[in-house]
Amino acid sequence: MEILVCVKRVPDTAENEFELNSAGNDLDRDDLVYSVNEWDNYAVEEAIQIVDKVGGNVTVVTVGDDESEEVLRREMAMGANDGVLLCDDAFEGSDGKGIAALLKAEVEKGNYDLIFTGAQADEGAGQVGGMLAAMLDLPYASLVNKIDASDGGTITVGREIEGGNQEMNEIELPCVISIQTGINEPRYVGIRGIRKVAKVEIPVKGASDLGIDGGSVGDAGAKTKRVDYFVPDLGDGAEMLEGSTEEIIEQLIEKLKAKGGL
Amino acid sequence: MTQIFAYIPHQNGVAEDIAMEYPAAAQKIDASASLTAIVTGSGADLDAVVNEMTSIYSEVIKIDNADLAYPNAEVVRKALVNIIPGDAVFLTAHNTLGMDMAPGLSVKMDSAYAADIVDIEGIEGSTLKMIRQELGGAVSTHVESDISNGAVLTIRPGSFAPVEGGSAGGSITDKSSDAGDLSVKRKFLEIVEAEVGDVDITKSDVLVSIGRGIEDEENIEIAQELAEAMGAVVSCSRPIVDAKWLEKSRQVGTSGQTVKPKVYMAMGISGSFQHLGGVKGNPFIVAVNKNPKAPIFQVADVGIVEDILDFMPELTESIQDL
Ligand SMILES: Cc1cc2nc3c(=O)[nH]c(=O)nc-3n(C[C@H](O)[C@H](O)[C@H](O)COP(=O)(O)OP(=O)(O)OC[C@H]3O[C@@H](n4cnc5c(N)ncnc54)[C@H](O)[C@@H]3O)c2cc1C
Ligand SMILES: Cc1cc2nc3c(=O)[nH]c(=O)nc-3n(C[C@H](O)[C@H](O)[C@H](O)COP(=O)(O)OP(=O)(O)OC[C@H]3O[C@@H](n4cnc5c(N)ncnc54)[C@H](O)[C@@H]3O)c2cc1C
C-alpha cells in the first residue's frame, strides 16, 4: 500500500497564549511555538500501522515554508519513509483550494492507494481533504476513526458522527480519507528519533516542479481570503473571581451553594 | 438577485435545529435574496421533513431517491451539483455531514468555500464578508469570499437566531428526476452505536469536567476527589478520551454526550465549540483555566485563573471542611 499523508505545521494551541500584534490585525507571531497539527499525527500513525501490516511506503508532504521541514522530519522520525516539501513564493496567500491544488499536483506525481489528511487543522475548516478528493475525482470519507485495510480493492472505514456513533462505509481504492483523533495512539518521538533522520534529504518542489501555473494558486487564485484577526467583544463574559486562592474558594463555595452545586 | 439554497439535515423524519437558523444567516447575507430549502431523502421520512419546511421556507425542493435514504455525502453531493445553480450561495451545517460533503461540492461547482461561519456581515459587490474562528476559538477572523461564481458555506450550528414557528405556506418542487446518476465509490453499510459506559453523565446535576489541562492520567484522581466531595460525576473533553484515560461515555460534546446539568465545572478545558455543543440547558458554568484568554471564559458564568492541579485539591479540602 502506497500512502501519502498531508501534514501541516501549526501554532500549538496547548503551548501558546494567542495575542494580537500591535496593529491588531494579525497574531503576534514572534514567540509562537509551532508543531504538527494534532490530527496529522494520528494520520501518520495510522498509515505506519497499515504499512506494517500489509507492506508499502508512507510519504509525508506539506505545503509551507523553510521551517515546515521540521514537521516532515518529525513525522519521518515516527516512521514515515519519505518527505516532500512544497514551497514557493507563488504559493503565498493560497486558500484551502490553492493548498488542495498543490497537493493534487504532488499526488499525481506518485502512485498512491491511500491519501490521508487530518480532519481539521488550526484554522478549523476541515476543507483540504474533501477538496483534494474532488479535484482528483476520488472517493472521500471524513472524520474516520477506524480503518480495516485487509481487503484488496476496497477498505472499510468508520466515520465518527454526532453522539460518537460510527458510520461504517466501504470505499474503493484509491481514495482520500480524513483522520479523526482517537483512531490510534500516536507513538512518541524522542530527540534520538529526530536525530536519526536529521540528514535525510527532503526534496523541495516549487510551482515549476509541480507543473503548476503560479496564477492559479497563491493570492491570485484565492476566492476566500482572511482579512484580519480580532478578539470579539462578547459583552459580559465570565465574572472573574479574584484574590488569594483562599478568598476565591470562599466566593466560589457561596456561588455553588446558591446554584445547587453543593 | 442572490439566490440562496439551504440544505436541511434530518433524522427520523425531523429536521435538525439548523433548519430554523439558516433564514437568519440568509437574511444577513442579503435581505433581498431568495431562499430555498433543499431536502434529500426517501419516502415518508422525507415527506414529513419537506412538509415541516414549508412552514419556514417559501420554496422547498425535494429530492426523493432510495440511494439518498441514508445521507451518504458522496451521493448527496452528486445530486446537489445537478440541482443548485452555478452562481448560487449554498448553505449547509458545519456538522459531520457538512464537513464530509461541502468542501468537494465547492470544487465541483467551482465556487468559493468558507467553513464554519459564525456570523455574516453582508455582501459588497460580489464580495461576501463573514466571521469565523481559528485556533479552537482563541481568535476570530474576518474573511471575504468572491461569490461571483457562487459559494458554498458551512454554518456553525447555534450561531444564528432560530426562526420562531413559521407559517410560510411554502411551495414544494419535486426535483427528484434532475438528480442524475447517483452511483458512487463509497457504500454506506451501517451505523454502530456508541458504547454505553458504566456511568451515565447525563443523569448528574453537577459535573466536574476535565480537559487537557489535567496533564497526566494520574491527576484524574484529583478530579475524582473533588467530584466525590461535591456529590458530582467526572466528565471530560475529547483529548482525555483520545488518550484512553477515561471512557468515551464520559465525553461531553458534539461527538460525545449532550448533558444538561445544573452546574458544570470546566477544569482545564479551552472551550471549543465542539465541546460546548454538548453542554445544554444553560447550566451555571464555572471555568478554571491558567490562561486568562481561554475562550471558555467568554461563555462561563464564573471564571478563575488558576492551575487546576493546585486549585482542585484546595477546593476539595474546603468543601470537605464545610
Ligand atoms: C504557504 C502558505 C501561505 C498561506 N497564506 C495565506 C494567506 O495569505 N492568507 C490566508 O488567509 N491563508 C493563508 N494560508 C492558509 C491556507 O489558506 C490554509 O493552509 C488552508 O486554508 C488550509 O488550512 P486549514 O487549517 O483550513 O486546513 P484544514 O482543511 O482544516 O486541514 C485539514 C488537513 O488538510 C491537510 N492540510 C492543510 N493544510 C495543509 C498544508 N499546508 N500542507 C499539507 N497538508 C495540509 C492536513 O492533513 C490537515 O490535517 C497559507 C498557507 C500556506 C501553507
Ligand atoms: C468533528 C469533531 C468533533 C469533536 N467533538 C468533540 C467533543 O465531542 N468533545 C470535545 O471536548 N471535543 C471535541 N472535538 C475536539 C475539539 O475541537 C477540541 O480539540 C477539544 O475540545 C479540546 O479539548 P480541551 O479543551 O480539553 O483541550 P485544549 O483545547 O488543549 O485546552 C486545554 C486547556 O487547559 C488549559 N490548561 C492547561 N494546563 C492547565 C492547568 N494545569 N491548569 C489550568 N488550566 C490548564 C489550557 O490553557 C487550555 O485552555 C471535536 C473535534 C472535531 C473536529
Residue A151's pLDDT is what?
Answer: 65
Q: Specify the DSSP class assigned to residue B199.
A: S
- A126 vs B115, B257, B258: nearest CB: B115
Q: Which three cell numbers stand for residue A200?
A: 535525510
- Under an 8 A CB cutoff, do A229 and B139 touch? yes
Is A238 in Cβ contact with B206 (below 8 Å)? no
Q: pTM for the complete prediction? A: 0.96
Whether the Cβ atoms of residue A136 and residue A107 lie closer than 8 Å to each other: yes
> pLDDT of chain B along its 322 residues, tens only?
899 999 999 999 999 999 999 999 999 999 999 999 999 999 999 999 999 999 999 999 999 999 999 999 999 999 999 999 999 999 999 999 999 999 999 999 999 999 999 999 999 999 999 999 999 998 999 999 999 999 999 999 999 999 987 788 899 999 999 999 999 999 999 999 998 888 999 999 999 999 999 999 999 999 999 999 999 999 999 999 999 999 999 999 999 999 999 999 999 999 999 999 999 999 999 999 999 989 999 999 999 999 999 999 999 999 999 8
Task: Judge whether A33 is closer than 8 Å to chain B, CB to CB.
Answer: no
Residues 6+ apart with CB under 8 A from B59: B34, B35, B36, B37, B170, B171, B173
User: In Å, how far is A231's CA from the nearest CA of chain B?
Assistant: 6
Strands B151-155 and B284-288, how do they pair?
unpaired
pLDDT per position as a tens digit, A185-243: 999 998 899 999 999 999 999 999 999 988 888 888 899 999 999 987 766 789 999 99
Instruction: Give whole-number Cα distances, A174 to A61, A127, A129, A133, B56, in Å.
Output: 17, 19, 14, 10, 42
3-state DSSP call for residue B127? Answer: strand
Whether complex ipTM tops 0.90: yes
Top-level class of domain A2-221: alpha beta
Check if the beta carbon of residue B41 is closer than 8 Å to that of residue B68: yes
Average pLDDT over residues A42-54: 97
A111 touches chain B (CB under 8 A): no
Dihedral-angle region of residue A33 (phi above 0 means left; psi in -120 to 50 means alpha; beta otherwise): beta
Probe site for chain A from B214, B270, B304 (most A CB atoms < 10 A): B304
The DSSP call for residue A68 is G
Given its phi and psi angles, is residue B209 left (phi above 0), alpha (psi -120 to 50 degrees) or beta? beta
* DSSP SS3 for B151: strand
What is residue B227's predicted lDDT score, i.e. its pLDDT?
A: 98
Q: Taking the CB of residue A204, how many other CB atoms lie within 10 A of it? A: 14
Q: Can you count the helices (H) and strands (E) in chain B?
A: 9, 17
Restricting to B residues 166-195, those with a Cβ less than 8 Å away from any Cβ of A are: 184-194
Residue A158, SS3?
A: strand
Q: Which domains does chain B have, with CATH numbers?
A: 3-178 (3.40.50.620), 201-320 (3.40.50.1220)
Task: Please state, in angstroms and rounded to a whole number, the distance separating the CA atoms of residues A153 and B135.
Answer: 38
Q: Given B186, B230, B243, which is nearest A139 (Cβ)?
A: B186
User: Which chain A residue has the Cα nearest residue B322?
Assistant: A253
| Residue A41 CB–ligand 1 contact under 6 Å | no
Q: Which ligand is nearest to the CA of A218?
A: 1
User: B102 near A134, Cβ under 8 Å?
Assistant: no
Chain A partners within 8 Å of B136 (Cβ): 13, 124
